[in-house]
A and B are shown apart, each in its own frame.
Chain A
Amino acid sequence: MTNFLLAAAEEEVHSAVEAAYTSGFWAEYAWIMLVIPWIAVLGIIFFGKRMKYLGAEIAIGMLAFNTIWASILFILNITKGVVYEGAVTIAEIGSNLIFELGWVVDGLSIMMYFVVSFVGLVIFIYAVGYMKGDVRVTWFFASFTIFAGSMLVLVGAPNLVQLIIGWEGVGVASYLLIGHYWEQKENSSAGMKAFFTNKVADIGLIIGAIMVGVTLGTFKFSELSNAAAEHADSLALVAGMIGALLFFGAMGKSAQFPFHIWLPDAMAGPTPVSALMHAATMVTAGVYLMARTFPLYQNLAEDIRPWMVAIATITLFAMGLLALVADDIKKVLAYSTVSQLGYMMVAVAAGGYTAGVFHLFTHAFFKALLFLGAGSVIHAVHSNNMSDMGGLRKDMPRTYWTFVIGSAALAGIIPFSGFWSKDEILVTLGHEGYTAVMWIAIAGAFITAFYMTRAIMLTFHGSYKGHGHPHESEPVMTVPLIILAGFAAVVGFLNIPGVEFGGRGNFTQWLGMREVVMGDHHPTAPDWGMAAIGLGAALLGVLAGLALFARDKATQQERDKFEIPALYPLLRRKYYMDDAALGLVWLIKAPFARAIDWINDYIIDGVVNTMGFLTAGLAQLVYGGLDQRGIDLGFNAFAYASGGSGERLRRLQTGRVQQYASVFVGAAVMFVIGFVIFG
Chain B
Amino acid sequence: MTLAPVLVLAALLFSLGVYGLLARRNAVLVLLAIELMLNAVNINLVAFEAMLQDSLATGQVFAIFVITVAAAEVGIGLAIVLLIFRNRATANVDEFSLMKW
A, B: real partners? yes
Binding site for B on A (CB under 8 A): 650-651, 653-658, 661-662, 665
How many chain B residues touch A (CB < 8 A): the figure is 12
CB distance from B21 to the nearest CB of A (A): 5
B21 close to A661 (CB less than 8 A) = yes
CB distance from B84 to the nearest CB of A (A): 11
B99 to chain A: which residues have CB within 8 Å?
Answer: 653, 655
Q: In whole angstroms, how far apart are the Cα atoms of A651 and B99 in the complex?
A: 12
B101 to chain A: which residues have CB within 8 Å?
Answer: 650-651, 653, 655
A665 to chain B: which residues have CB within 8 Å?
Answer: 18, 21-22
A662 close to B22 (CB less than 8 A) = yes
Which of A650, A651, A658 touches B93 (beta carbons < 8 Å)?
A658
CB distance from A332 to the nearest CB of B (A): 103
CB distance from B36 to the nearest CB of A (A): 14
A655 close to B98 (CB less than 8 A) = yes
A653 to chain B: which residues have CB within 8 Å?
Answer: 99-101
CB distance from B101 to the nearest CB of A (A): 4
Q: In whole angstroms, how far apart are the Cα atoms of A656 and B96 in the complex?
A: 7
Could you give, for residues 60-101 of chain B, a 1 whenever the CB lies within 8 Å of some chain A CB and a 0 otherwise?
Answer: 000000000000000000000000000000000110111111
Q: Which residue of A lies closest to B19 (CB)?
A: A665
Q: Which 5 A-B pairs have the closest CB atoms?
A: A655-B100, A655-B97, A650-B101, A655-B99, A653-B101
A657 to chain B: which residues have CB within 8 Å?
Answer: 30, 93
CB distance from B61 to the nearest CB of A (A): 25
B21 close to A654 (CB less than 8 A) = no
Q: Can you spell out 25 A-B residue pairs with CB atoms less than 8 angstroms apart?
A: A650-B101, A653-B99, A653-B100, A653-B101, A654-B97, A654-B100, A655-B96, A655-B97, A655-B98, A655-B99, A655-B101, A656-B93, A656-B94, A656-B100, A657-B30, A657-B93, A658-B21, A658-B22, A658-B30, A658-B93, A658-B94, A661-B22, A665-B18, A665-B21, A665-B22
Q: Is the interface of A mostly helix, strand, loop or mixed?
A: helix
B22 to chain A: which residues have CB within 8 Å?
Answer: 658, 661-662, 665
CB distance from B95 to the nearest CB of A (A): 10
Q: In whole angstroms, how far apart are the Cα atoms of A658 and B95 in the complex?
A: 11
A656 close to B21 (CB less than 8 A) = no
A656 to chain B: which residues have CB within 8 Å?
Answer: 93-94, 97, 100
Q: In whole angstroms, how far apart are the Cα atoms of A661 and B96 in the complex?
A: 15
Q: In whole angstroms, how far apart are the Cα atoms of A653 and B99 in the complex?
A: 8
CB distance from B80 to the nearest CB of A (A): 11
A650 to chain B: which residues have CB within 8 Å?
Answer: 101
Q: Which residue of A lies closest to B99 (CB)?
A: A655
Binding site for A on B (CB under 8 A): 18, 21-22, 30, 93-94, 96-101
CB distance from B90 to the nearest CB of A (A): 14
Q: In whole angstroms, how far apart are the Cα atoms of A655 and B96 in the complex?
A: 8
Q: In whole angstroms, how far apart are the Cα atoms of A656 and B100 in the complex?
A: 8
Q: Which residue of B lies closest to A651 (CB)?
A: B101
Q: In whole angstroms, how far apart are the Cα atoms of A654 and B96 in the complex?
A: 10
CB distance from B91 to the nearest CB of A (A): 12
B97 to chain A: which residues have CB within 8 Å?
Answer: 654-656
CB distance from A654 to the nearest CB of B (A): 5
A654 to chain B: which residues have CB within 8 Å?
Answer: 97, 100
CB distance from A653 to the nearest CB of B (A): 5
Q: In whole angstroms, how far apart are the Cα atoms of A661 and B99 in the complex?
A: 15
Q: Which residue of B lies closest to A661 (CB)?
A: B21
CB distance from A196 to the nearest CB of B (A): 82
CB distance from B13 to the nearest CB of A (A): 15
- Residue of B18, B96, B99, B101 contacting most chain A CB atoms (<10 Å): B101
Q: Which residue of B lies closest to A656 (CB)?
A: B97
CB distance from B37 to the nearest CB of A (A): 10
Q: Which residue of A lies closest to B24 (CB)?
A: A658
- Residue of A650, A651, A653, A656 contacting most chain B CB atoms (<10 Å): A656
Q: Which residue of B lies closest to A646 (CB)?
A: B101
Q: In whole angstroms, how far apart are the Cα atoms of A7 and B21 in the complex?
A: 128
Q: Which residue of A lies closest to B27 (CB)?
A: A657
B100 to chain A: which residues have CB within 8 Å?
Answer: 653-656
Q: In whole angstroms, how far apart are the Cα atoms of A655 and B100 in the complex?
A: 4
A661 to chain B: which residues have CB within 8 Å?
Answer: 21-22
Q: Which residue of A lies closest to B18 (CB)?
A: A665
CB distance from A287 to the nearest CB of B (A): 100
A651 to chain B: which residues have CB within 8 Å?
Answer: 101
Q: In whole angstroms, how far apart are the Cα atoms of A653 and B98 in the complex?
A: 11
Q: In whole angstroms, how far apart are the Cα atoms of A275 and B31 in the complex?
A: 109
Q: In whole angstroms, how far apart are the Cα atoms of A177 and B36 in the complex?
A: 103
Q: Which residue of A lies closest to B94 (CB)?
A: A656
CB distance from B5 to the nearest CB of A (A): 21
B96 to chain A: which residues have CB within 8 Å?
Answer: 655
B93 to chain A: which residues have CB within 8 Å?
Answer: 656-658
A662 to chain B: which residues have CB within 8 Å?
Answer: 22
CB distance from A409 to the nearest CB of B (A): 110
Q: In whole angstroms, how far apart are the Cα atoms of A633 and B30 in the complex?
A: 51
B94 to chain A: which residues have CB within 8 Å?
Answer: 656, 658
Q: Which residue of B lies closest to A660 (CB)?
A: B99
B18 to chain A: which residues have CB within 8 Å?
Answer: 665
Q: In whole angstroms, how far apart are the Cα atoms of A650 and B22 in the complex?
A: 22
New contact pairs (12) apart from A655-B96, A665-B18, CB-CB < 8 Å: A654-B97, A655-B98, A655-B99, A656-B93, A656-B94, A658-B30, A658-B93, A658-B94, A661-B21, A661-B22, A665-B21, A665-B22
B21 to chain A: which residues have CB within 8 Å?
Answer: 658, 661, 665
Q: In whole angstroms, how far apart are the Cα atoms of A654 and B101 in the complex?
A: 7
CB distance from A659 to the nearest CB of B (A): 9
CB distance from A584 to the nearest CB of B (A): 89
CB distance from B92 to the nearest CB of A (A): 11
CB distance from B87 to the nearest CB of A (A): 16
Q: In whole angstroms, how far apart are the Cα atoms of A662 and B19 in the complex?
A: 10
Q: In whole angstroms, how far apart are the Cα atoms of A654 and B98 in the complex?
A: 9
CB distance from B88 to the nearest CB of A (A): 14
Q: In whole angstroms, how far apart are the Cα atoms of A665 and B20 in the complex?
A: 12
Q: In whole angstroms, how far apart are the Cα atoms of A654 and B100 in the complex?
A: 5
Q: In whole angstroms, how far apart are the Cα atoms of A655 and B93 in the complex?
A: 10
- Residue of B30, B96, B97 contacting most chain A CB atoms (<10 Å): B97
Q: In whole angstroms, how far apart are the Cα atoms of A650 and B100 in the complex?
A: 9
CB distance from B32 to the nearest CB of A (A): 14
Q: Which residue of B lies closest to A653 (CB)?
A: B101
